[in-house]
A and B are shown apart, each in its own frame.
Chain A
Amino acid sequence: MSDTLTVNLTVNGEKVSRAIEPRRNLVDFLREDLQLTGSHVGCEHGVCGACTLRVNGEIVRGCLMLAVQAEGAVVETIEGVSDSGEIADLQEAFHERNALQCGFCTPGMLLAAADLLNANPGAGRDQIREHISGNYCRCTGYQAIVDAIEAVGRKRSGQSS
């Protein structure tokens, strides 16, 4: 085993300091060491988007970033944005529109959707599809997901849905 490194970061508003093995990727660190199991692990090579996290305000692949690379970073997970209420409207819309079935893709999907709507609440269906193109859903067929994101975007930008 290679030597551990001490890493200091902020996770969902709380300061965390841990000794971490360099090979530990960020999503495994959150899940295994901090028991934040809301972020999922699917392919582990950047394709599925189940591990989507927010680092310093930007969405990233949690499986393609090492925990030791998060030194000084502000990390937000699905638990954080759920507790803060930031995505309550998206979660409600996903529920109402049946935009999840097994739920495996949902945490990543919600973070990708929030990322888009924060920048551009008026995004059209094509832009929504583009923005979630890196997040696989094997259940819903995406239609309901696009519907849900579009509905929230409309509400947030003050248009009727």
Chain B
Amino acid sequence: MKAAPFDFVRATALSDVFAAFERHGDDARIVAGGQSLMPMMNMRLAAPRVLVDINHIAELNGVSETDGTLRIGALTRHQELGVNALVAEHAPLLTMASTHIAHPAIRNRGTFGGSLSHADPAAELPACAIASDAVINAVSSSRGERSIKAVDFFLGTFHTALEPDEILVSVDIPIIGAAERVAFDELARRQGDYALVGLAAKGTIEGKTFKDLRLVFFSVADRPILATETIATLEGKDYSPDTVTVAEAALEVDLQDIDSDLHTSAATKTHLARVLVGRVLAELAGEGRQ
């Protein structure tokens, strides 16, 4: 199908976005890469009266590093995340995750800010943001700028802490420490498909000992799940097959309320999550894939 008619605003500054929000309220909708919004509009699942194109707002671009923090602009494309040298050096989890997102033609348009704002429970980047302790920066004309921890940002399917008149401008990620490692894996039916289950992980590894792990599952519930029980169980433990077994058991607690979706039952998802935790712990411990 074709999208319903709408008016189009080509914003070149944040003030253009705020003006559109002020004038049109909820009828105005931001479009970034359009790789989630346009399909919804073409299927008439969304019909904004006014579309505000933010692709030409220069300050939403760019990746920079200052004082131990990597700042990634909202308009950074998935493709750029995958090849950017600063991202590879300071936030390699995003580099790893980027090639799992959709297909090349979609990665050329889709944006980091769009993926986080859209908050698809099966999306890779929200889970990576939580695993990386990211902070999301948003601006509105009435309240100015505020920062929201990634762990508090995702509230449900397509639902975030962003207010309707706010725009996500950038994401801050603490740069990876010398003793920290990251790992990412997902199971999908085909390359580029949304994951059946995925896992983004970060942690400090001393020898074979896990410390301060962040294990974040996605595509298991209405938002990414930080596996707190599994993380607590693994704290201070050495990597071994027994440790993996203990982690798998703890996972049952973290995932006890997970949902079946159209294609995959909760039991299958839990099984796949156990497979992933084994692989990812091995990778974090430098044991390669089991």
Contacts and interface: CB of A to CB of B under 8 A. Distances in A.
Contacts of B192: 130, 133-134
Contacts, number: 92
B178 interface: no
A133 B34 contact: no
A3 B51 CA distance: 13
Interface stretch (B4-12, B22-30, B252-260): B4-12
Given A3-B7, A22-B6, A60-B109, A112 B104 contact: yes
A23 B108 contact: no
A69 B53 contact: yes
Interface string B79-104: 10000000000000000000100111
A102 B189 CA distance: 26
Contacts of A46: 35, 38-39, 106
Interface residues of B, number: 30
B2 interface: yes
Given A69-B53, A71-B10, A133-B190, A63 B102 contact: no
B8 A65 contact: no
A66 B42 CA distance: 11
B43 interface: yes
A23 B192 CA distance: 27
B38 A59 contact: no
Nearest to B45: A45
Chain B contact residues: over half helix, strand or loop, or mixed?
Answer: loop
A100 B199 CA distance: 38
Give the interface centre of B38, B43, B99, B102 by most chain A CB atoms within 10 Å: B38
B55 interface: yes
Interface residues of A, number: 34
A120 B55 CA distance: 28
Nearest to B7: A2
Interface string A99-129: 0000000000000100110000000000001
A23 B104 contact: no
A134 B106 contact: yes
A5 interface: yes
Contacts of A52: 105
Contacts of A58: 79, 108
B3 interface: yes
B105 A23 contact: no
Given A22-B8, A44-B1, A134-B192, A64 B39 contact: yes
27 contacts: A1-B5, A2-B7, A22-B51, A23-B4, A25-B2, A25-B3, A25-B42, A45-B38, A45-B39, A45-B43, A46-B38, A46-B39, A49-B105, A59-B108, A61-B105, A61-B109, A63-B42, A64-B34, A64-B38, A64-B109, A65-B34, A65-B38, A68-B8, A68-B10, A69-B55, A134-B102, A134-B104
Interface of A: 1-3, 5, 21-23, 25, 28, 44-46, 49, 52, 58-61, 63-66, 68-69, 71, 112, 115-116, 129-131, 133-135
List of 7 A-B pairs having minimum Cβ-Cβ separation, nearest first = A134-B103, A22-B8, A45-B39, A64-B38, A133-B191, A58-B108, A59-B105
Interface of B: 1-8, 10, 34-35, 38-39, 42-43, 51, 53, 55, 79, 99, 102-106, 108-109, 190-192
